Amino acid sequence: MSHRDTLFSAPIARLGDWTFDERVAEVFPDMIQRSVPGYSNIISMIGMLAERFVQPGTQVYDLGCSLGAATLSVRRNIHHDNCKIIAIDNSPAMIERCRRHIDAYKAPTPVDVIEGDIRDIAIENASMVVLNFTLQFLDPSERQALLDKIYQGLNPGGALVLSEKFSFEDAKVGELLFNMHHDFKRANGYSELEISQKRSMLGKRDADRFRGNT
């Protein structure tokens, strides 16, 4: 059962580093729905893409699987034999809940749920790889190496599904989308304090990363 996200509803004297800990994992379904426009549609589309691209006897990788929403969407849409899904995340709290979610929905396609670093996983015999809002959490200097590894591990006709935040060179367009995103959060019940504190914590993470303090 998901709880309502109130992590930033009260003033926090000292904002620490953003981590996907037990508190975040507990409210993550509510948080992601209220923070990412169209998230449910993205998950549904990942399943539709799986139906088109997953090939018999191959593997699917969900890199940064969080609670397993994309994994389950893929699994529901695999109609071939001898396929396997490998779901990996480095958060123990997320992985624990992901395993529970996967076990609750029985299907023929097996799923290996792994607690680990997506940079260390071998990509082999893959017909589909999912990076659903995951790449942003890697240092920019490490992203291309992961994408290259995925490319090398994809079978002919395979697909990389990449959902990601991005910025525009045009400052006016960037400001418009920034403001619209915050309007979306407000419309979903987040207060100015919640928006500001979460933005500050994530901004600190990004600043530390660019300084090399990952």
Annotated binding residues, as ranges?
39, 64-66, 89-90, 117-118, 132, 199
Those residues with Cβ within 8 angstroms of residue 94's Cβ, 6 or more apart along the chain or in another chain: 20, 25, 28, 65, 66, 67
Structure-block tokens of residue 166: 């991005």
Q: Which amino acids are annotated as binding site for S-adenosyl-L-methionine, given as ranges?
A: 39, 64-66, 89-90, 117-118, 132, 199
Reported as half-sphere exposure (CB side, CA atoms, 13 A), residue 67 has a value of 19
- Pair of tokens at residue 167: 């910025």
Q: In 105-191, which residue ranges form alpha helices assigned H by DSSP?
A: 140-153, 171-187
Q: How many CB atoms lie within 10 A of CB 168?
A: 12
**Is the distance from CB of 89 to CB of 119 less than 8 angstroms?**
no
E strands present in 23-167: 59-63, 84-89, 111-115, 126-132, 154-163
